[in-house]
Amino acid sequence: MALKTLSAKAAASLDRDLMSTGAFSIDQLMELAGLSVSQAVYRVHPVTQGSRVLVAVGPGNNGGDGLVAARHLRHYGYLPTVYYPKRSKNDLYQRLVKQLEDLDVPFVDDFPAALESTDHVVDAIFGFSFSGEVREPFPAVIQAMAKTKVPVTSVDAPSSWNIEEGPPKSGTGSSFHPDVLVSLTAPKPLVKFFSGRHFIGGRFVTPAIAKKYGFDLPEYEGIDQVVEIGPEGHKL
């Protein structure tokens, strides 16, 4: 069975459906997405393997998922550090930042230096809506993630990758292959270029929405918000 994927256009449409007919707020969806990401990190990198997690946060919704994940990781006993250079003026993001500040989660300005003293990285820079050029200050950040030996978990898409065509042919991100990918709601076509551990998160999609967009809901177990799948889409 081939893994059923969701194009960038369909993913955006699905989000709109969830927030209109589905009656979800953006806060709820971001909270559930970030919770999924935090559970995937817990699964691949238990706190006993090293508690320091560096979260690279972009300017949009993908970054918001990262901020939520950092909060949950702090509550699990990790010591997250957040790199968030392009801060949103939006009230939702400012509240997510305040929640982290209240937990004494440090924000850092020097990503390469922070990378030297961490055990795991969460890449929450760009998601399914990314296209075009990687803007400053993110090229150096993506290059550093590409070179590091520290394991990297990407949220929804490895940052800089084209949603349909995978890693760029040259330049920033062309050699970036994260260890773990957490696909939110459903995998995107770029998964065919990804060879690491793959999780699906987003245990809030209704069967009707899954049917409308032509993908299968994974079989989540117990209270899990993520499920690990193999290259053909079978549950691991």
Q: Confirm or deny that 216 is annotated as ligand binding.
A: no
Q: Are 51 and 78 in contact (CB under 8 A)?
A: yes
Q: Confirm or deny that 102 is annotated as ligand binding.
A: no
Q: Confirm or deny that 232 is annotated as ligand binding.
A: no
Helix axes 8-19, 26-44, angle to 10 degrees: 120
Q: Confirm or deny that 132 is annotated as ligand binding.
A: yes
Q: Confirm or deny that 159 is annotated as ligand binding.
A: yes
List all residues 6 or more positions away from 36 whose beta carbon is below 8 Å from its beta carbon.
Answer: 182, 184, 199, 201, 202, 203, 225, 226
Q: Confirm or deny that 196 is annotated as ligand binding.
A: no
Q: Confirm or deny that 193 is annotated as ligand binding.
A: no
Determine what percent of the chain falls in helix, strand and coil, rounding each to the nearest 5: 40, 15, 45
- Distance from C-alpha of 11 to C-alpha of 213, rounded to nearest angstrom: 9
Centroid of chain to Cα 230: 18
Q: Are 148 and 118 in contact (CB under 8 A)?
A: no
Q: Confirm or deny that 15 is annotated as ligand binding.
A: no
Q: Confirm or deny that 133 is annotated as ligand binding.
A: yes
Q: Confirm or deny that 104 is annotated as ligand binding.
A: no
Q: Which two tokens stand for residue 38?
A: 């935090």
Q: Confirm or deny that 127 is annotated as ligand binding.
A: yes
Q: Which of 53, 201, 73, 71 is nearest to 127 (CA)?
A: 201
- Distance from C-alpha of 63 to C-alpha of 204, rounded to nearest angstrom: 20
Q: Confirm or deny that 156 is annotated as ligand binding.
A: yes
Q: Confirm or deny that 62 is annotated as ligand binding.
A: yes
Q: Confirm or deny that 51 is annotated as ligand binding.
A: no
Q: Are 129 and 60 in contact (CB under 8 A)?
A: yes
Q: Confirm or deny that 130 is annotated as ligand binding.
A: yes
- Please tell me the number of Cα atoms within 13 Å of 234 on its side-chain side: 3
Annotated binding site for K(+): 62, 123, 159
Annotated binding site: 61-65, 123, 127-133, 156, 159
Annotated binding site for (6S)-NADPHX: 61-65, 127-133, 156
